[in-house]
Amino acid sequence: MSRQGNSQDYDWLVKVIVIGDSGVGKTNVLSQFCDQKFSITHMATLGVDFKIKTIEAEGKKLKLQIWDTAGQERFRTITKTYYKGAQGVILTYSVIDRQSFQNVDGWLKSIQENTNSSDVQLVLLGNKADMSAERKVTLEEGMKLSQQFNIPFFETSAKSNMNINEAFQELSQRIIQTLSKMQANDENRNLNIKPNGGEDKHKTGPCC
């Protein structure tokens, strides 16, 4: 994450990763959000790919560097390296693939193991919600899981662009709130640092 000066067209550059099992629609979620495109042909992402998009939220501009990661088990060890420096995670399962839903818990553990999870914002997506005839995971199950882990939840359709922008907007708002708090804490710490290591002479409190 980097903070930019007024000469830049954004306030923060942040890294977001899109994770989840293979075939849940991660690439199309990203393509729809960044390029308003959807492909009916599924080609598994090999390794990672990323796109850039600037979004406004909370009166700030975020330049999102969004990484599309491979979900196949054989790529998990590679994927772990891409958690580094991430401020946001889009965790995706498919409502027509129950195994991908059951694997959400494993992905959450992976996030906890590879990030400072208190500083990383998450959003859970139940993708392919347009395919109601093939649904294997109910809306209620997705909501229950999100409540269990206290994560914002959206059922989405990359095909119809349902809730895609809303999900990224929610994530962006949460990232900005986190970064603003971190920045305020850093500024407060700097105000209390004295060149000679002494305490702030304006500090009030009981006399020793």
Taking only the tens place, the pLDDT of each residue in 48-97 is 678 999 998 888 899 999 998 876 666 667 677 888 899 999 999 999 99
Q: What CATH number has the domain bearing residue 66?
A: 3.40.50.300
pTM higher than 0.85: no
Asked if 24 contacts 93 with a C-beta cutoff of 8 angstroms, the reply is yes
pLDDT band (50, 70, 90) for residue 17: very high
Instruction: Indicate whether 177 belongs to any domain.
Output: no
Asked if 48 contacts 79 with a C-beta cutoff of 8 angstroms, the reply is yes
pLDDT of 179 > 50? The answer is yes
Q: What is the pLDDT of residues 124-172, one digit of tens each?
A: 999 999 999 999 999 999 999 999 999 999 999 999 999 999 999 999 9
CA atoms within 13 A of residue 183's CA, in its CB half-sphere: 12
Instruction: Indicate whether 94 belongs to any domain.
Output: yes
Instruction: Indicate whether 82 belongs to any domain.
Output: yes
Instruction: Indicate whether 88 belongs to any domain.
Output: yes
Which stretch, 5-19, 40-54, 68-82, 91-105, has highest mean pLDDT? 91-105
Instruction: Indicate whether 9 belongs to any domain.
Output: yes
pLDDT of 204 > 50? The answer is no
Question: Percentage of the chain surpassing pLDDT 90?
Answer: 57
| Domain count of the fold of the chain | 1
Instruction: Indicate whether 109 belongs to any domain.
Output: yes
Taking only Cα atoms into account, the Rg of the chain, rounded to an integer number of angstroms, comes to: 20
- Helix, strand or coil for residue 21? coil
State which residues form the domain around 150. Answer: 2-172
DSSP 197: S
Instruction: Indicate whether 197 belongs to any domain.
Output: no
Instruction: Indicate whether 198 belongs to any domain.
Output: no
